[in-house]
Each structure stands twice: as structure tokens, then as C-alpha cells.
Amino acid sequence: MIRIHRGAEPDELRRVRLERLPELARIARTRPPRSEEIDGYRIAAGPLWRAQNFKCCYCERKIPKLYNDVEHYRPKASATREPGSQDRHGYWWLAFTWTNLLFACPSCNRTGKNDRFPLDAGSVALVAKEAPPGKEKPLLLDPAEHHGIEHIEFVFGVIPARATSAGVPPGWSARKHWWPRARGGSLTGDWTIRVCGLDSSEHIELYDDHVDKEARPAARDLEEALKRRRDVTAAFDQAMRLLQPGKPFMGLSYDALRLLVPGDALAPWNLAWPEPREAGRSPGRTRRR
């Protein structure tokens, strides 16, 4: 998961908001607006898809085809806020708010996150028309606010039985996989993995495949170059291309490359992998010591 940059709000979304919100406010005076009554925000799907480099905002898989759905960071019709709050009302007044909208794959959005929006203890859920964050302390990373790499890391190894939210399928325990866990004990990283199901077997198969097809070949070329002491910088630059924000599973590539080619091997060449907070921030630029 890496930080996304939405850019400017599309005019069309502003128009829809001005048109639809008064009606929802009218309904909300007597009861919470239902999911099917909250519509029109889907026009944001295309602009978000492009702004996110055609990737899911949570798992970073490429979404090859635009489909007509939009993820609400703060859920629109109902919200499950445990452990921090028992309130269940949705954030209907943010249903057309650009900074609340994301583009996510069906697996992260519908199978995983759904209406979950966990808040930390001491939170007070926003009330109607209140602007975020108020007194809410979300336990879910906001891809537009946080750099996910700082909170989630990928490791290679046998998955401990209780490490995944979805459970480990039979036969998996014997093999090593690439799987995500909280970096440095990040609480929000841990919650985000579980809420979005970033550790589901479906995701883990994609991670394994990505490392085999992209990160391992790049690491192998770099190791070869280091051994031959030739074309090291070129091989390093080639590997760094996997850390451009538009590349799929950039956060995974980041940890895979660092594990496969440790920094000690690069140091004599004045080369270094970026720090988590710097990874993917400057597209195409390689950092040297």
C-alpha cells in the first residue's frame, strides 16, 4: 500500500454533490439514508482509477478494466466502528466528498472492508455533516494520507497459523510465502491488513507470483552485476523501476528487493535502497549515498 494523490476534484462530482446532498439531508431528518438512495458518486471512478495509476488503493494490484464502483473510506450507509465506538450510522454526508473516495479492487472493497471503519478507543464518531476527522481516531490507513509502506511490511516465510485473518489454507503451512504484517508494530498497519484482508490466500497468491515474475529476476540481475563488478548501477536502476508508484505491488517489491539484495552488498557501490518513507516518492529517481 502506497500513498495516492487524487489531484483536483472533478467538476462533475461537485455538481452531483450539490444536486444530491439536500435530498439525503431531508431523508436523514427522519431515518438514515439507505445504500440504494445514495448514488451518483460513481462518476468519480474513472478519475480515481487514473489518479491511482490503475491500481487498487489498498492491495496495489493492477485493475485492468475500469468498473463502475467507488470505495468510501468512511462508509456511506452504515459503519462498523468497533472497537472504538458502537455507533452504526454511515457517513452519508461524505458520500460525494472527493477526499473520502477511493478506487479499490472488489476483493479489498467488498469481500474485505465492506462497511468496516474501526476507530481506536477514545474516539467519538462524527455526527451528520461534521467534517473529518473530528474526534475520530481511525485504525484504517487512509491511502491518501498515509504512506502504507511505513506501516505494512512484507516478509518471506512460513505463515504462522494465526497470522492471517482469513486463515491459512490446507497445505500452505509447508511452503514459504510473501505475506504482510505491521511494520514496526504499527497498529494502523495491523488493522488495515485485517480489515481489507490483505493477507487473504487470494492476495498471497498474487504476492508470490509478483515476486517470482518481477522482483526475483531484477534481484538476480543485480546480484550477477555485483558478482561481475560490472554494470552495477544500471542493474540497480533497473530494479528501482519496480519502486515507481505506477508499478503494481510497489510496497511488496520494496521489501522483496531489500531482502533479496541486502544493503551491505550495495554499500561499496555507494548505492542504497530508499528508507520506507522515501520509497516511491520520487518516480524514477535513484537514491545514492
* Residues near Zn ion (CB under 5 A): 56, 58-59, 105, 108
d(CA 90, CA 84): 15
Query: What's 35's DSSP letter?
Result: G
- Nearest residue (CB) to Zn ion, 105 versus 256: 105
What's the burial of 141, exposed, middle or buried (CB within 10 Å: 0-12/13-18/19+)? buried
| Burial of 213: CB neighbours in 10 Å, binned 0-12, 13-18, 19+ | exposed
Strands 152-157 and 177-182: antiparallel
What minimum distance in Å lies between the beta carbon of 8 and Zn ion? 25
Tell me, what DSSP letter sits at residue 55? Answer: B
Length of the chain: 289
Residue number, 196 or 239, with CB nearest to Zn ion: 196
DSSP 73: S
Cell numbers representing residue 230 in the block: 560490472
CB of 34 to Zn ion, least distance (A): 26
Comparing CB distances to Zn ion, the nearer of 48 and 56 is 56
Instruction: Quote the CA–CA distance of 193 and 167 in Å, as a whole number.
Output: 13
**58 or 73, CB closer to Zn ion?**
58
- What 8-state DSSP symbol labels residue 10? P
Cell of 233: 548501477
Least CB distance to Zn ion at residue 163 (A): 19
By beta-carbon proximity to Zn ion, the closer residue of 248 and 274 is: 248
Q: How far is the CB of 129 from Zn ion (least distance, A)?
A: 30
Question: Which residues, at least 6 apart from 97, have a Cβ–Cβ distance to it below 8 Å?
Answer: 17
